[in-house]
Amino acid sequence: MQQLITQIAEELRHKFGNDVAIEDTLMIGIHTGGVWVAERLHQVLNIKQPLAQLDISFYRDDFSRIGMNPQVKPSQLPTSVDDAHIILVDDVLHTGRTIRAALNEIFDYGRPATVTLAVLGERSGRELPIQADVVGTHIQLEEHEHVKLTGPEPLQLEVVETL
């Protein structure tokens, strides 16, 4: 896992290059797994601003069908993200719906200069035209499998059978 985190951090450094000091970006982790990954990246990249967190439960497009998750936690973002360079972090990119919801919430706080998406893993099954800028690993799964991040200690990607 540490090797994937290091790889993602190096790719982010390369992506930002000399255009933006990566230490001055705002890193946002998506609750829960994205926060776990973001905590590690935030430390490795020595980002100055506090780590921000999003709980996108109210922004989900299936909210009206599934109701409110009893584990909803408030998002922790600066009052404004105007003109900020944001690194948005999630654990696994699958359909793209979580990222869409996260972007909706971020834009409720303002208009960032840029948003860079970094994910630990990416799997097939995209439903929306959203792709990550930095991907730790591409995961090939069978139809009856899905991937889950467990943690925070130890942080592990697990492939689980669905019934």
β-bridge partners, 116:
87
Q: According to CATH, what is the number of the domain 2-161?
A: 3.40.50.2020
* 11-15, 144-148, 157-161 — most confident range: 11-15
Strand order in the sheet with 85-93: 52-54, 26-30, 85-93, 114-123, 134-139
Closest CA to 65 of 96, 88, 43, 97: 97
Encoded tokens for 150: 């467990």
The model's pLDDT over 82-116, given as tens digits with 9 standing for 90+, comes to: 999 999 999 999 999 999 999 999 999 999 999 99
137 class by beta-carbon count within 10 Å (0-12 exposed, 13-18 middle, 19+ buried): middle
